[in-house]
Structure 1
């Protein structure tokens, strides 16, 4: 089944996820959707110092939004901030140094942030693809800790703050790679079987889509969405998937193309009219499963995922 899913997915990707796929989709975009003034609205972007996170932060800054850049590396964060401020002429750009793979740090940051700041939109963009099984200092598998648990804790901790504002939104940057995976709730940290970083990442991205659907149904006051940026030419793709990058380089999207739907979901009136909890690609809600792929989880498996994340997250809550 996995080989079938991978093959179908790759053919789909060549048509849709590439630069030419974006250009074809963009012909149908409403050009005025992003003509918005974001003055007075506050956005948090994780992993905002490079790639599509930085591109999204930049677009929001251009439109007058206050941007909270959540980054791991201080030097790179400051360089990105300086560039965004200089080009957007927007001074309301703030840096927060947080390692998203540290559950304790994420809890502490989110709790402090909520006490001192207003937040309208959370963009869960930070992610990693580590190709060997590696544990964090807290003893968690690194891909899971960053992509799934970090996203889960940050969102859960900020939901009360988001409920206090008008038109709150949460956008989670998933990946079309998740279409190749069925949720495996009994092996969340890949303790069993051979470790495959690409598969671990795709599992995490499937988990993010399920979380988005669940949050959307639990918290009606907030608009939740997940999305696939397509195959973009970013530093993360170059380092974690060098052979894919080398083969596909000429076909990859720019960072701005990858960020387009993130920005659209975060700022446009059109996006907020869509039902909450959906998965988007190029400004359109798309299916979360390939045809005939048998990748759907049961409601029980989804419940088990949420219970497991809750249990792990609470161990690190201050």
Structure 2
């Protein structure tokens, strides 16, 4: 599942045309078609949230190109139905389903450890996400947005880095959101325990955290190519259910799921993407700034260090 949080006031006026369908269509005029004319047979791709929306569109495109696809999903019925459709359209039988709740730190640890023992991995695509509008705790006592979007992504990625380092041309792609441009990292309230809860703001905070993690992972692991990206405003089931008024207002201007997933696929399979510096933030196959002009959203190195330390401590707490 993937939501892209709308920007506000001046940010919205500046960004809106670029993130809509029309922005993709304009950008696509400069795409190099041959970038995606690739065969990835023998390469293994793990995609979280792969049964619908951008995750499913990404899984389909990779299966079409012969890749081994590992779909990490929460709901078995929907996952199996999506797998059946992907296999039918791609004629690729190398599509596998793994049932994992990304909001459960223990489940993510157990899956990552088990997966890396029995599978090769070339590309990890962190796509799963949630935007819960009321503050809700998981069974492990964690705020659900943070548990899914930030801690789950952190645990899965760090646990699979050793497996990725064994592969040729390993990559990690994390699907973030332009909503993070509205947020400055707040390490003093990662689980939104203070003040009134705002699910949209919490989600955008998580997306900012993912971009910072991507930058740090790239610095720490020079032999793996890391990237994060902004899919634009896409018409996905998650947007329809979690942001109904926004969807109703913008429906005709939203990107298709394939448009939203295009840069994910490009980052995951193309040679052109691998030639880009590691750790960058992309939109429509181009690296873009992680902060708006005036840069009020920039965080200190100390705050970023605190984020990493807190996630490390929390992750170890739930490690089997």
Same fold (TM over 0.5): yes
Partner of 1:255: 257
Per-residue CA deviations over 1:199-226 (Å, capped at 9, x if unaligned) read: 0000000000000000000000000000
Moved more, 13-22 or 270-279: 13-22
Partner of 2:42: 40
User: Using the alignment, how far apart are the partners of 2:154 and 2:32 within structure 1?
Assistant: 32
Partner of 2:120: 118
Deviation at 1:50, TM superposition (A): 0.1
Partner of 1:88: 90
Partner of 1:105: 107
Match of 1:27 among 14, 26, 29: 29
Match of 1:145 among 144, 147, 150: 147
Query: Which blocks of at least 5 consecutive residues in structure 1 are unaligned?
Result: none
Secondary structure of 1:32's counterpart equals helix
Per-residue CA deviations over 1:75-120 (Å, capped at 9, x if unaligned) read: 0000000000000000000000000000000000000000000000
User: Using the alignment, how far apart are the partners of 1:240 and 1:151 within structure 2?
Assistant: 21
Large movers: runs of 4+ above 3 Å? none
User: Using the alignment, how far apart are the partners of 1:297 and 1:100 within structure 2?
Assistant: 27
Partner of 1:208: 210
Deviation at 1:7, TM superposition (A): 1.4
User: Using the alignment, how far apart are the partners of 2:49 and 2:10 within structure 1?
Assistant: 30
Partner of 1:131: 133
Match of 2:170 among 129, 147, 168: 168
Per-residue CA deviations over 1:213-247 (Å, capped at 9, x if unaligned) read: 00000000000000000000000111111111111
User: Using the alignment, how far apart are the partners of 1:234 and 1:121 within structure 2?
Assistant: 23
Partner of 1:67: 69
**Over aligned residue pairs, what C-alpha RMSD do you find?**
0.7
Per-residue CA deviations over 1:96-155 (Å, capped at 9, x if unaligned) read: 000000000000000000000000000000000000000000000000000000000000
Q: Is 1:271 the counterpart of 2:273 in the alignment? A: yes
Deviation at 1:293, TM superposition (A): 4.2
User: Using the alignment, how far apart are the partners of 1:101 and 1:311 within structure 2?
Assistant: 17
Secondary structure of 2:45's counterpart equals strand
Secondary structure of 2:71's counterpart equals strand
Deviation at 1:15, TM superposition (A): 1.2
Deviation at 1:38, TM superposition (A): 0.6
Secondary structure of 1:224's counterpart equals strand
User: Using the alignment, how far apart are the partners of 1:306 and 1:6 within structure 2?
Assistant: 28
Aligned residue pair count:
314
User: Using the alignment, how far apart are the partners of 1:208 and 1:217 within structure 2?
Assistant: 14
User: Using the alignment, how far apart are the partners of 2:278 and 2:295 within structure 1?
Assistant: 24
User: Using the alignment, how far apart are the partners of 1:247 and 1:90 within structure 2?
Assistant: 38
Secondary structure of 1:225's counterpart equals strand
Secondary structure of 1:165's counterpart equals coil
Deviation at 1:9, TM superposition (A): 2.1
Deviation at 1:14, TM superposition (A): 1.7
Secondary structure of 1:96's counterpart equals strand
Match of 1:188 among 190, 199, 215: 190
User: Using the alignment, how far apart are the partners of 1:297 and 1:35 within structure 2?
Assistant: 39
Per-residue CA deviations over 1:165-214 (Å, capped at 9, x if unaligned) read: 10000000000000000000000000001100000000000000000000
Partner of 2:316: 314
User: Using the alignment, how far apart are the partners of 2:269 and 2:161 within structure 1?
Assistant: 18
